[in-house]
Structure 1
Amino acid sequence: MLDHFPFYLGLIVTILLLIMLANKLKVAYPVLLVLAGLLISFIPGIPVIHIDPELIFVIFLPPLLYEASWAISWKELWRWRRIISSFAFIVVFLSAMSVAFVANHFIPGFSLALGFLLGGIVSPPDAVSAGAILKFVKVPKRMASILEGESLLNDASSLIIFRFALIAVASGQFIWHEAALSFGWMLIGGIGIGLLIGWIFMKAHKFLPTDANIDIVLSIVTPYLIYIAAEEVHSSGVLAVVSGGLFLSNKRHFFLSSTSRLRGVNVWESLCFVLNGLVFMLIGLDLPEITAGLEGVSVSSAIGYGILITGVLIIGRILSTYGAVIVTLIARNFITVADSRNPGYKIPFVLGWTGMRGVVSLAAALSIPVQLSDGSAFPQRNLILFITFVVILLTLLLQGLTLPYLIKKIKIPNLDESLPEEEVYLSIRKQLATYALQHLKNNYSEELGSQPVLQLIARKWEDNSRIAEDVLISAECKLIYLNILDHQRQWLLNKNKVEEQLDEEVIRQHLLLLDLEEEKLKFT
């Protein structure tokens, strides 16, 4: 490991450079990272990378799911729960079933159980790729919410299919009532364990004498403990992490201090940034090992099978998306749905095109055992690995590179809020200032008359409450304000340098306030 340390260090630097290049080119960085991994893997003398599936499942997956759970809006998740559930469970199952029948019919030696195994592996779209693309294009809020919600749950549903198919291949039989009981336990047990451990950690944060550093470390430990505990009792670790993360995210303002929340966001963003970059680079680097394992089938034939399965997945997801819309339009006649308006043909097509595959698919494929319990080789393992890699690569290149262009070209109609976001922000700001000022006058009138600091705060709130609705800070004013903030920083740094007896911690506190002021400017 130490012999290859310079290589791994260089790998991280390469990842950072590629992500900066991707941002410059406005391309989803997973695409560049996978391609770069492929190119690097062909360089002579490069260490052969062996990806341990446990490394991805245990080290990478829990924190990535947990961070996504904290980032998503519970209100939006609940609002679009029906369409999200249909994408995360029904569409994933239909995709897996389509792959199973096509593989069974067209790929020699593939039983139906092996087809479902492959379908469970390649059925879940990757959330990171879609999220990276959506940074560069403007899409309706509902679409982003549906994609975020789907990404939280589809990994769990696909891994459940994968686990049952693995048992069927290994044992040669599939007992429906046992599968039903196991499925129920994976769902209920996973959600229950996640909520229980989340509740325990919430109490630990609230009642133990923690500080910001301890809170952040506890938050990093939480997803790992939830995932491992759930997997140990054979329930869904993915659902456990998602349910625990959603629970703690919804309660964050009741047990975490503002300092812990502010610092925690920065730590988690940096952690997941590195983890995502490493995962997609490792996918490309693993190609030589995957290709070397092909036996009994030519590379060209294996590539053809991969293209076939990719086509099934893309077409199946698009058809399923339109099917979900049709079902929703019919269901609105019998039940209350989140939005009964017809979304047209554009939004479903774009949703159907956001089907890039990634880390979970590769990890699941790698976790297939090399041998069965009787010592014989696991059937078609190497071919499944190769097909999975082809699916990941093709969906990232084909859909990942064309999705931004597609979104811009077809001009998706915005069916969400009628008011611009800036106007909504100013309205809430005025209402909040009015409420705070009234509360201060009603409950602290005597203190307000005698305390200059409270009078200063009151005047600030009065100014905020009098802001005209059409007053928005212009780009020119932002540049001027940013320039002033930069000069203030330079003044503080110079003062700290000149006055040797001045406590630098005081300077750092003022620098932090300037950083917060600059952050606030992004939302005005």
Structure 2
Amino acid sequence: MEAKFQTFLILLAVLAGTALAARRFNVAPAILLMLSGVGLAFVPGMPPVELPPELVLLMVLPPLIYSASVAMSWREFRNNLRPIVLLAVGAVIFTAAMVATATHYLIGLPWTIGFLLGAIVAPPDVVAPLAIARRLNMPRRILVVLEGEGLANDATALILYRFALAAIMVGHFSLPLAAGEFSLIVAGEIAFGIGVGWLSLRFRKWSRDPQVELTLSLITPYVSYWLPEHVGGSGVIATVACGLYVSWNGPLLISSATRLQGIFFWDLVIYMIEGLLFLLTGFQMRALYEKSKAFPLDDIMIATAVVVVIIVIARFAWLYPAIYLPRILSKSLRERDPSPPWQWAFTLAFTGVRGAVSLAAALALPFTLPGGEAFPFRDLILFVAFGVIFITLVGIGLGLPPVVRWLGIADAGRSEHFAEHEAEIAARRQALDAALRSLDALTEEKDVSEEVVRLLRARHDIRVNQLPDSLDPTHHDVSAAGTALTRELIVAERKFIHDLLRDGQITDETRRRIERDLDLEEASLANREYRGAPL
């Protein structure tokens, strides 16, 4: 137990150090974390660390999916539902079929094994590519489609995975039956996920205690995931539906104290889960290396190369017709939603990084068939899954920034980002105007002293004056200088309060209350600060 705890502390230290290195060298943390995991796995004396598939599929996946769903806008998800479904369902099925066909004719795998391998490697990961894409100032719609695809494609892949696995275990497969079951799973999980989200928000509103509400928020993804998964579904669709419901309906039902604490709580939870997941994925290289000694290396290399090439080609082959063909055939769609630039389509097609869910699905394969014989090609599937994850994460992850620069995608993203912040300033001003009208109405309805009204109007004027008139470079420079000076004033005030505490003029409780106000003001500065990181 002590050795395991020491290993855990080492992983945490590597996680923190790698995050700092990634920021220093402007590289996606997921890439360095996986490479660090591979390096650590071969350090002499380092105990092997296995990645139990049930840990990923039952413990890690629910909070990741739920958190991403809550962070996503239901309106943007709904407005981009067609491209999201085309990628999350259509592209996954098409890629799995392409992998099955290629491995059957080029490598000689049975059709059922090929479809199983295709289901494992078909779904792109959502964590690593989105982390890279956000830093590259990509247009908002590309980010929404990528995030929506990453949320839903695991469900398609895991359902295909179970169908293919069942066909191998029992020896037969019925396409009509599978299609009907797939439709039933989707409809049932959507309804169940919305029901769990509704109950979660009602319980949280009733409790009105931040600690209880955060506990309920942590339980919610597991309830929405485990029950459908237990009865033969994927659990992913229910969790996505639950998260989107909470995202749309939560702002008016969740208290401000819970929301403030929840942001930091969930940021830390997701940071730890994602970091340790990529580290542990890299750690699997040691176990796979030991197994590979009894397996022909040429077979592993050829199979991995074939699958990597196929999944890249399949994504391009599916995505371009899926984007442009419906608009060619439908005038109403063409007028309602004009065709995006080819650079956008190329970026979406290029962003096909595979993640730990693929490895977990491969690790979850049984060792034997019902008759007692060994599960066919199990080790080869494991090697190929890890190889695909490693090559796509490192290759595409490092290649995406120069590709985005070459395509000029960031220019559109910057313009969109600028317009979004201009709209934000306008919305803030309109909200303050609405609050001022409410103040006037309240003072007429209630007996409020002039002093209270004067203080409230002064607060309103301060908030209005804090808003910049524009986000052009001149105003931005002034705003940035004011923000920097405000931070220095907060530091000076915090130091003075500490001196008062040290001299015994105030108590610790007083210091904590004052510090909380200063912390909230500093967090407000960070929230208002315009961030436009150049490529």
Instruction: Give the structure-2-normalised TM-score.
Output: 0.92
Q: Matches of 1:468 and 1:288 in 2, distance apart? A: 55
Q: How does 1:151-166 map to 2 (within 5 A)?
A: 151-166=150-165
Contact 2:468–2:479, Cα closer than 8 Å, also in 1: no
State whether structure 2 residue 510 is matched by structure 1 residue 506: yes
Q: 1:383-417 CA deviation, whole Å, 9 max, x = no partner?
A: 00000000000001110011112112321152885
Contact 2:92–2:123, Cα closer than 8 Å, also in 1: yes
Q: 1:134 Cα shift?
A: 2.2
Q: 1:319 Cα shift?
A: 2.5
Q: Matches of 1:43 and 1:381 in 2, distance apart? A: 27
Where does residue 532 of structure 2 map in the other structure? Answer: none
Contact 1:328–1:337, Cα closer than 8 Å, also in 2: no
Q: Pick one of 232, 251, 254 that aligns with 1:253.
A: 251
Q: 1:145 Cα shift?
A: 1.1
Q: Matches of 2:266 and 2:214 in 1, distance apart? A: 9
With over 3 angstroms needed to count, the CA separation of the structure-2 counterparts of 1:468 and 1:344, relative to structure 1, is closer
> Which amino acid counterpart does residue 242 of structure 1 have in structure 2?
V
State whether structure 2 residue 32 is matched by structure 1 residue 36: no
Contact 2:327–2:333, Cα closer than 8 Å, also in 1: no
SS in structure 2 opposite 1:379? Answer: coil
Where does residue 88 of structure 1 map in the other structure? Answer: 88
Q: Matches of 2:397 and 2:450 in 1, distance apart? A: 59
Contact 1:26–1:136, Cα closer than 8 Å, also in 2: no
With over 3 angstroms needed to count, the CA separation of the structure-2 counterparts of 1:498 and 1:453, relative to structure 1, is farther
Q: 1:100-135 CA deviation, whole Å, 9 max, x = no partner?
A: 100111123x11111111111001111111122124
Q: Matches of 1:493 and 1:337 in 2, distance apart? A: 63
Contact 2:328–2:334, Cα closer than 8 Å, also in 1: no
> Which amino acid counterpart does residue 171 of structure 2 have in structure 1?
G
> Which amino acid counterpart does residue 334 of structure 1 have in structure 2?
S
Q: Matches of 1:486 and 1:462 in 2, distance apart? A: 25
> Which amino acid counterpart does residue 255 of structure 1 have in structure 2?
L
Where does residue 58 of structure 2 map in the other structure? Answer: 58
State whether structure 2 residue 493 is matched by structure 1 residue 488: yes
Where does residue 533 of structure 2 map in the other structure? Answer: none
Q: 1:499 Cα shift?
A: 2.8
With over 3 angstroms needed to count, the CA separation of the structure-2 counterparts of 1:427 and 1:360, relative to structure 1, is same
State whether structure 2 residue 260 is matched by structure 1 residue 262: yes
State whether structure 2 residue 315 is matched by structure 1 residue 317: yes
Q: Matches of 1:243 and 1:9 in 2, distance apart? A: 35
Judge which range, 455-464 or 59-68, deviates more.
455-464
Q: How does 1:170-319 map to 2 (within 5 A)?
A: 170-207=169-206, 209-294=207-292, 297-319=295-317
Q: 1:297 Cα shift?
A: 4.1
Q: 1:398-447 CA deviation, whole Å, 9 max, x = no partner?
A: 10011112112321152885963332222112111111111211232365
Q: Matches of 2:240 and 2:453 in 1, distance apart? A: 43
Q: 1:33 Cα shift?
A: 1.2
Q: 1:305-351 CA deviation, whole Å, 9 max, x = no partner?
A: 111111111121122221222134225513477632x3222111111
Q: Give the percent of matched residue pairs that are identical in Structure 1 and Structure 2.
A: 33
> Which amino acid counterpart does residue 6 of structure 2 have in structure 1?
P
With over 3 angstroms needed to count, the CA separation of the structure-2 counterparts of 1:344 and 1:422, relative to structure 1, is closer
State whether structure 2 residue 379 is matched by structure 1 residue 393: no
Q: 1:478-524 CA deviation, whole Å, 9 max, x = no partner?
A: 21111111112222222233235x34333323222222222222324
Contact 1:433–1:462, Cα closer than 8 Å, also in 2: no
With over 3 angstroms needed to count, the CA separation of the structure-2 counterparts of 1:336 and 1:236, relative to structure 1, is farther
State whether structure 2 residue 378 is matched by structure 1 residue 381: yes
Contact 2:501–2:508, Cα closer than 8 Å, also in 1: yes
Count of aligned pairs between the two proteins: 520
SS in structure 2 opposite 1:118? Answer: helix
SS in structure 2 opposite 1:334? Answer: helix
Q: 1:59-94 CA deviation, whole Å, 9 max, x = no partner?
A: 111111111011111111111111111111111111
Q: 1:294 Cα shift?
A: 4.1
Q: How does 1:452-467 map to 2 (within 5 A)?
A: 452-462=451-461, 464=463
Q: How does 1:397-476 map to 2 (within 5 A)?
A: 397-412=394-409, 414=412, 417=416, 420-445=419-444, 450-462=449-461, 464=463, 469-470=469-470, 472=476, 473-476=478-481
Where does residue 358 of structure 1 map in the other structure? Answer: 355
Q: Matches of 1:460 and 1:330 in 2, distance apart? A: 55
Q: 1:198-256 CA deviation, whole Å, 9 max, x = no partner?
A: 2222221122x341111111111111122111112212211111111111222212332
Where does residue 347 of structure 1 map in the other structure? Answer: 344
Where does residue 142 of structure 1 map in the other structure? Answer: 141
Q: 1:269 Cα shift?
A: 0.6
Contact 2:436–2:460, Cα closer than 8 Å, also in 1: yes
Judge which range, 314-323 or 292-301, deviates more.
292-301
> Which amino acid counterpart does residue 197 of structure 2 have in structure 1?
G
Which structure has more helix as a fraction of its residues? 2
Q: 1:476 Cα shift?
A: 1.7
Judge which range, 33-42 or 502-511, deviates more.
502-511
Q: Matches of 1:443 and 1:272 in 2, distance apart? A: 43
RMSD across aligned C-alpha pairs, in angstroms?
A: 2.1
Where does residue 111 of structure 2 map in the other structure? Answer: 112
Q: How does 1:6-25 map to 2 (within 5 A)?
A: 6-25=6-25
Q: Matches of 1:292 and 1:253 in 2, distance apart? A: 51
Q: Matches of 2:111 and 2:468 in 1, distance apart? A: 66
> Which amino acid counterpart does residue 214 of structure 1 have in structure 2?
V
Unpaired runs of 5+ residues, structure 2, are 530-535
Q: Matches of 2:223 and 2:445 in 1, distance apart? A: 51
Contact 1:496–1:504, Cα closer than 8 Å, also in 2: yes
Where does residue 477 of structure 1 map in the other structure? Answer: 482
> Which amino acid counterpart does residue 480 of structure 2 have in structure 1?
A
Q: Matches of 2:4 and 2:464 in 1, distance apart? A: 60
Q: Matches of 1:80 and 1:366 in 2, distance apart? A: 33
Q: Matches of 1:331 and 1:448 in 2, distance apart? A: 65
With over 3 angstroms needed to count, the CA separation of the structure-2 counterparts of 1:513 and 1:200, relative to structure 1, is same
Judge which range, 431-440 or 491-500, deviates more.
491-500
Where does residue 367 of structure 1 map in the other structure? Answer: 364
> Which amino acid counterpart does residue 375 of structure 2 have in structure 1?
F
